[in-house]
Amino acid sequence: MSDYQLMVNAYAQAGGTPEVFKESKIAHLVVHKNKVIGSHLVKGLILEPKETESGVDIELKIMKGVKIEYPVHLCFGVLPKEGLQEINIRARVEDAAGVKLLAHCVFPNAVKVVHKMMAEIEIGDSAYYEYNEVHFHGETGGVEVIPKARIKIGKNSRLVTNFSLLKGRVGIFNLDYESEILDNSILEMTAKIYGYGHDQIRIREAGRLLGKASHGLIKSRIAVKDNAQSEIINELSACAPETRGHVDCVEIIQGNAQARAVPIVNVTNELGKVTHEAAIGRVDKKQIQVLMARGLEEEKAIDLIVSGMLR
């Protein structure tokens, strides 16, 4: 079976829909290790991958005023047990443009795989950028994922990121996203991760609300069990009038797992406001009893509550 077919199969296991790779209206890019093994463009989208020694450098640009109708599908992965993949993305969404990206990162056989991603994202004025990233890691836990993003959002724009790692072992995960938001723009960052075994999860998501009336929401939903560990650092700064921000972190622990939440809230303008809430602990006892009172066993009740939170 070809690498392309194996990647598509892993993509399907991660929850992707392989049919999109045959659809002419939908742009896609498939990268295995440092090889581009599939790509398709649509009008208004510039997507230029350049293979490097350890990965791929990607230039992504949405031309001014262009709104890409269907999500752009990206698939990155390493199929062998060992390997390094470094993806560098420079994304530019010009004024009044919009795009939604759906990235699947697949490492189904990883025993010693390192996946690094560095994204520099610039979003113009009145623009829209949504980045959804779903991971599928297999069951060995032998993968190290290091995604990093530096994001600038112009005026009257919106950026949404959704990260989820719910299938397979996390391994070692170290996410670091930083963003700056100008006037009347909105930032929404959400991360949902389920760790077990000896998984280690570290997330730092930071937003600086620099422009007047800019808004930010950073949300984390983490479940850890066995001996897994998580540390979530959510940071929002309100630096201009009428800025509003909220940090919302929930971590559920089971077994010997450990979780830590560090909400950092900075306000440097008296007309700005940032709130935060963080909850760490076992699954709420009342929720468990309520489901058990409908006939569900305790373990199944816990699974249902956790899967709902991570959905």
Partner 1 sequence: MDQDKTEILKVEKLSLNLDGRPILKDLSLSVQTAEIHSILGPNASGKSSLAYALIGCCDYFAQRGKIYFMGNDVTHLPVDKRAKMGLTLAWQEPARFEGLTVKDYLSVGIKGKNDDLIKEALEFVLLKPEEYLNREVDKTLSGGERKRIELASVFAMRPKLAILDEPDSGIDILALDHIINLIKELKKKGTTVLLITHREEVSSISDKTSLLCTGTIVKEGDTEEVGTYFKEKCIPCPTRIYPGAENNEAERKSE
Given the complex with partner 1, which of 22 and 294 has the nearer CB atom? Answer: 294
Parallel/antiparallel/unpaired status of strands 45-51 and 55-62: antiparallel
Q: How far apart are CB 215 and partner 1 at their closest, in Å?
A: 19
Instruction: Kindly tell me which of 22 and 286 has the beta carbon lying closer to partner 1.
Output: 286
Distance of closest approach, residue 221 Cβ to partner 1, in angstroms: 8
Which residues contact partner 1 by CB under 8 A?
221, 250, 284-287, 289-298, 301, 304-305, 307-311
CB of 171 to partner 1, least distance (A): 25
CB 127 within 8 A of CB 154: yes
Q: In 3-state terms, what secondary structure has residue 18?
A: helix
Amino acid 182 reads L
Q: Give the DSSP letter of residue 67.
A: B
Q: Cβ of residue 293: shortest distance to partner 1, in angstroms?
A: 5
Least distance to partner 1, CB of residue 304, Å: 7
Which is nearer to partner 1, 41 or 292 (by Cβ)? 292
Q: Do residues 66 and 77 touch, judged by C-beta distance below 8 A? A: no
Is 126 or 162 the residue whose CB approaches partner 1 more closely?
162
Nearer Cβ to partner 1, position 64 or 300?
300
Listed residue (229, 263, 265, 266) closest to 249, CA to CA: 263
Burial annotation 19-56 (CB, 10 A radius, 16+ → b, else e):
ebbeeeebbbbbbbbbeebbebebebbebebeeeeebb
The alpha carbon of 257 is separated from its chain's Cα centroid by a whole number of angstroms, namely 22
Least separation in angstroms between CB 252 and partner 1: 11
What is residue 66's three-state secondary structure? coil
Distance in angstroms (rounded) separating the CA atoms of residues 188 and 185:
10
Smallest gap from Cβ 202 to partner 1, in A, equals 23
Decide whether 78 or 134 has the Cβ nearer to partner 1. 134
Question: CA nearest 232: which of 253, 254, 210?
Answer: 253
Interacting residues of 99 by C-beta distance below 8 A, sequence separation 6+: 45, 62, 67, 68, 72, 93, 128, 129, 130
Count of residues in the chain: 311
Nearer to partner 1, 9 or 254 (CB): 254
Least separation in angstroms between residue 108's CB and partner 1 is 26
Q: 202 or 246: whose CB is closer to partner 1?
A: 246
